[in-house]
Structure 1
Amino acid sequence: GVMPPYAEECACMHGVTVSSGGGRWIVTTDWRQLGGTGCTSSHGGTSAAAPLAAGMIALMLSARPCLSWRDVQHILVLTAEKVDKQIGHYTRNGAGLFHSHKHGFGMLTAWRMVQAAKTWKSVPPAEYTKSESLLEFSKLPPNQTVYLYYDNSASASDSSPAILEHVKVYVNIQHPARGQLIISLYSPSGTHSVLATVRPFDKATTGLSWTFATIRCWGETPYGEWKLAVNNTSNQPGLIQNWRLTLVTTSISPKDYAKRIRRVRDIVTGKVAAPLQAQSCPKSAPLFTADGSSEGAPFGATPVGKLVGWLHRLPLIFN
């Protein structure tokens, strides 16, 4: 499979499913009952891809209804398979995971996801750490790249280990041709995320005040020197007013997360026999809401009800 012509590369994409492109389409049911068959052979786009992903997630929830939406994301990351390896441009990050701006962590596979879900131990709560607003007022000369730095090494603690999930980057840039800016982020482990690339049809002259996101650093340590690169490819100058980092982490050590990665890989590759039955959910397992908290379940506590809640998170999972 390859990236369809209507898709965009993205640093915060978890994974992909099949869809239309290259003259091929998805065959599925059709509520309009065209031709009396109840089917259509011309379905495609994200209208086809997102329901496939939702269906696979529903199968996971049927096996383990106590999974939170963040557990689901971890399982997607660890079970996705590389596709389009020749031009997918996968990058190995500091946690040993491979991510592509074209395909995320790879193709979602229902069997692998369900097998991993059967014995998955729920991750600890998410922790959100925001840097102060980094006031730069840095000039952005024509046809040059400006590098900005943020170091949080002092926050590292052996008693409070953590790994990254999501990273959000807010930037406030004045520029008369914002479509000519390339914005990239480098994690302390050296992982490169392209947050924004050249957009020839973006003629806005108002600059950019926006929050970007990346998951290419998933599983890495959050501590060290972060580097933001702003490449001005135009002949006009600009000004970087300020920027800010938000790190979404969970309290698992990189060493323990590496054990989780190996365990999942052993199960989905057959090195370790996959369990026939899923582990029972703990009696005290909370019912997770759409935002990942445990203060009730507004969409219902059943797997279907929880899936409805998680569908509100799909823009985050499949950007």
Structure 2
Amino acid sequence: MNNKLNIVTAGLLLALGQATAQTFDNSAQEYDPSKHVWEYTYQLAGGDPLVVHQWHLQNNGQHAGAITPGVAGIDLNLDFTHRRGILGQGINIAVIDDGLATYHPDLAPNMAQGDVLNPDPYIYQYNSRGRLTIDDHGTKVAGIAAAAAYNGQGGRGVAPAATLTGANLIGNERNFVGRDLAIRAVMDMDGTIAPMNKHTDARVINQSFGYAFSDASIYGDYRAFFDNIDDVTKKAVTESHGGRGTMAVKSAGNSHYIGGRWLDRDNGLLTLIYPNGYALPAYDASIADPTNANFWNLTVSALNAKGNLAAYSTGGSAVLLTAPAGEWGRYSPATVTTGLPKWCTDATETQCENPMYVFNMNGTSAAAPALSGAIALIMSANHQLSWRDVRHLMITTATKVDADSQPRMIGDYEAIPSWQVNGAGYAFHYDYGFGLVNVDAAVEKALLTGPILGDLQIKSYDVPVAADAFIYDGDFSGTESVHTQTENLTVEGVKVHLDLEHDRLGDLSIELISPSNTRSVILTAGTDIEGNKFNGNVILSNHFYGESAKGDWKLRVIDTNAKDAWSERVYDLGTGKFVENSLTVTPQRSDKVQSNNAKPGQLTGWSITFFGH
């Protein structure tokens, strides 16, 4: 009962705060009947002194403490949603991380203890790998998603009336030893009274962490470990909240390159180093972190304030959407959010000095809570929508960013395409998924519709492979294997498990081509992956959303010889783009040389799983 009263009280305080906040000028833009409501831009309400720096909420070209400004319009487009008073009410966001500063004045009003006490990171420092550190990551993440609004303190969250639950999985004083247990806890999955259906059970699970494996054998060796996470996530996502489900949001990773050094620190020119001769990404979302290839997770990449992929962000066909995160905050804006106070003067931590805010939060760790907050807004606009309905609304309303991006090539081979329109008419990009989430557009459609998608169907097939399915060195025609799908469904996602042998896996480009002739690069060549085989490794593609599954699906494996050299490319943090003609090819480090395969590789087996309706 106390939890319910606390949540109601927090909602009333927010409503009162909003009523006394800065008023809007309704005539700021002349009415144009040809425009949708989400195409207008309204000034955000006042009441929080740092909101003017929070470009991810509304980007008007502000600097947010950086030397160079952002680009107006590169934001979540949530101004009209907030004006409507849709602020995430009734939605609980679980932040699985290193703990939350529950006493922070911008987080305390929204804390929902539920059956899981929010872990307390305390205000202490400890040594980790020879460095003095502190567990403040979860506090930063929580502030992006759901810091309180209109209270005269700091900034505000994307969904400032949503409630927060914490689970300490990755902190020094963690109280969960595995992600599966943390998910079970924030969902009250083992509760005796209506498990996974209470208002304090998470409707959104934020996971701003992950893995970056370079050894391809990890997945096969630990298949049971990953399958368990997959199963627990599926249960939470599909069986909670009376069948409407929960959205599990997952950061794609920060492994676009393998190293960097300043070329010109004064002007923000950073040389990025790649393990291939073509400046192709060092890691792929699916292979580096198999939990990104878990269909039950919504994997998100990071966008900078200029409207391009952040320098560090991992991409891949498993990415569904992109969200604002920023760069490092000196040359280009990072994200402004809550930090830890410097100290507390009492054991109960209710008397804390210097409540802190930071201007340098970034990474896909920041993109994930931005998206989690956006989801909370859409869910609070229409509580009857399922997690898949909300995904559908975001996919079909997303904004295309970096529209003039060019394909990335290996000679004449298009290793990573630019924006492609799939067979259902949706544009998709390897780096951005279906684009930048557009809150106002998704909320408007949410308000005007009921449940959208039919029952979820899952169909899996083992595909016979010819005994001579060899992968020849430098043969860009590739080795093909075909699955003919006779049963139809509308695709929401496609997962592939791969078995193959190859002595230099980083040379391989793997494509999946649909009956609609949509070519999805499900593994880009040139990655820093090691080992000599895939043993059931999992790859997810969201590229085919909305297409018909019926017909021939072609798997193509190409040995591109991409790993004979390394490369360097100059990234300009001020513009958010690579410097033209800055690509240089360098020898591999002697301790990292991978000899080219002396014999052809071989595709030995694969399976395909369709998720759809």
> How much has 1:33 moved relative to structure 2?
5.0
Aligned counterpart, 1:18? 324
Aligned counterpart, 1:253? none
> How much has 1:200 moved relative to structure 2?
4.5
Describe how 1:184-203 pairs up with structure 2 within 5 A: 184-203=511-530
State which drifts further: 137-146 or 186-195.
137-146
Residue of 420, 426, 446 corresponding to 1:117: 446
> How much has 1:165 moved relative to structure 2?
0.4
Aligned AA (1:126): L
CA distance 1:37–1:59, shift in 2 (3 Å): same
Residue of 229, 232, 241 corresponding to 2:559: 232
> How much has 1:15 moved relative to structure 2?
1.1
Matched, 1:8 2:314: yes
Write the deviation string for residues 155-179 of structure 1: whole angstroms up to 9, x where unpaired.
Answer: 34xxxxx311001111100111111
Contact 1:14 1:76 (8 Å CA) reproduced: no
Residue of 391, 394, 399 corresponding to 1:73: 391
> How much has 1:208 moved relative to structure 2?
4.7
Describe how 1:8-157 pairs up with structure 2 within 5 A: 8-21=314-327, 23-32=332-341, 36=354, 38-87=356-405, 89-122=418-451, 123-137=453-467, 138-144=469-475, 145-152=478-485, 154-156=486-488
CA distance 1:208–1:4, shift in 2 (3 Å): farther
> How much has 1:132 moved relative to structure 2?
2.8
Name the SS of the counterpart of 1:72 in structure 2.
helix
Q: CA RMSD in A?
A: 1.9
Describe how 1:149-168 pairs up with structure 2 within 5 A: 149-152=482-485, 154-156=486-488, 162-168=489-495
Write the deviation string for residues 259-284 of structure 1: whole angstroms up to 9, x where unpaired.
Answer: xxxxxxxxxxxxxxxxxxxxxxxxxx
Contact 2:465 2:481 (8 Å CA) reproduced: no
CA distance 1:106–1:121, shift in 2 (3 Å): same
Describe how 1:167-178 pairs up with structure 2 within 5 A: 167-178=494-505
Residue-pair matches, total: 244
CA distance 1:120–1:31, shift in 2 (3 Å): farther
Contact 2:487 2:549 (8 Å CA) reproduced: no
CA distance 1:210–1:200, shift in 2 (3 Å): closer
Q: What are the ranges of 5 or more consecutive residues in structure 1 without an aligned counterpart?
A: 157-161, 251-319
CA distance 1:221–1:94, shift in 2 (3 Å): same
Structure 2 distance, partners of 1:187, 1:241, is: 21
> How much has 1:9 moved relative to structure 2?
2.3
Write the deviation string for residues 268-316 of structure 1: whole angstroms up to 9, x where unpaired.
Answer: xxxxxxxxxxxxxxxxxxxxxxxxxxxxxxxxxxxxxxxxxxxxxxxxx
Describe how 1:284-303 pairs up with structure 2 within 5 A: none
Contact 1:166 1:217 (8 Å CA) reproduced: yes
Residue of 207, 210, 222 corresponding to 2:537: 210
Structure 1 distance, partners of 2:458, 2:545, is: 15
**RCO greater where, 1 or 2, for CA within 8 Å and sep 6 or more?**
1
CA distance 1:135–1:146, shift in 2 (3 Å): closer
Name the SS of the counterpart of 1:131 in structure 2.
strand
Aligned counterpart, 1:300? none
Aligned AA (2:341): R
Write the deviation string for residues 19-58 of structure 1: whole angstroms up to 9, x where unpaired.
Answer: 1226321111213359935211111112211111111111
> How much has 1:135 moved relative to structure 2?
3.3
Q: What are the ranges of 5 or more consecutive residues in structure 2 without an aligned counterpart?
A: 1-306, 344-352, 407-417, 562-595
